[in-house]
């Protein structure tokens, strides 16, 4: 089994959206993958996903059940892939990593989207409106096929 976590700032917008979308695809394919999410900060620990995240997910047919949590440095041993939603999260997570092997587990989500170009950040929609959340969902969905390819390859190696 592979263990994957998606990480954003407060774990109420981007990372729970990525978690729900990716879990849907993993379950649809019957892949042996455990998916969750967390945040770099602890402001929202225990909170549900932002209602706009939940709405954007539901409009696209995804389920959402979530309680925010903060990423802990002891979790590097637990996860095979730690997927950051923007460069800031990437830097923060890699700085927390205890060694090079742990740092190598941290990747940007949009690295898996061949059409992403140079802008690999998924923007924070928190201060925006419905269209911002829809845009984030679109960016996440665009990265899913590439991330699924990565997961399938890693599962074959096991």
Indicate if 124 belongs to the active site: yes
Indicate if 86 belongs to the active site: no
User: Active-site residue among 14, 23, 52, 69?
Assistant: 14
User: Active-site residue among 8, 113, 121, 137?
Assistant: 8
User: Active-site residue among 80, 94, 103, 124?
Assistant: 124
User: Which residues, in sequence order, are bridge partners of residue 128?
Assistant: none
Indicate if 8 belongs to the active site: yes
Catalytic residues: 8, 14, 124
């Amino acid at each position: 089994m592979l263990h994957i976590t998606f990480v954003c700032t407060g774990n109420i917008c981007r990372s729970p959206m990525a978690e729900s979308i990716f879990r849907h695809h993993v379950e649809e394919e019957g892949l042996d993958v455990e998916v969750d999410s967390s945040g770099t900060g602890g402001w929202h620990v225990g909170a549900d996903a932002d209602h706009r995240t939940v709405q954007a997910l539901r409009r696209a047919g995804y389920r959402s059940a979530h309680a925010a949590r903060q990423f802990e440095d002891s979790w590097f041993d637990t996860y095979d892939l730690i997927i950051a939603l923007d460069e800031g999260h990437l830097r923060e997570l890699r700085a927390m990593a205890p060694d090079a092997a742990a740092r190598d587990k941290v990747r940007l989500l949009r690295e898996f989207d061949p059409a992403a170009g140079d802008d690999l950040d998924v923007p924070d929609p928190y201060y925006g409106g419905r269209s911002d959340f829809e845009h984030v969902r679109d960016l996440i969905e665009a990265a899913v096929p590439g991330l699924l390819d990565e997961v399938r390859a890693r599962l074959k190696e096991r």
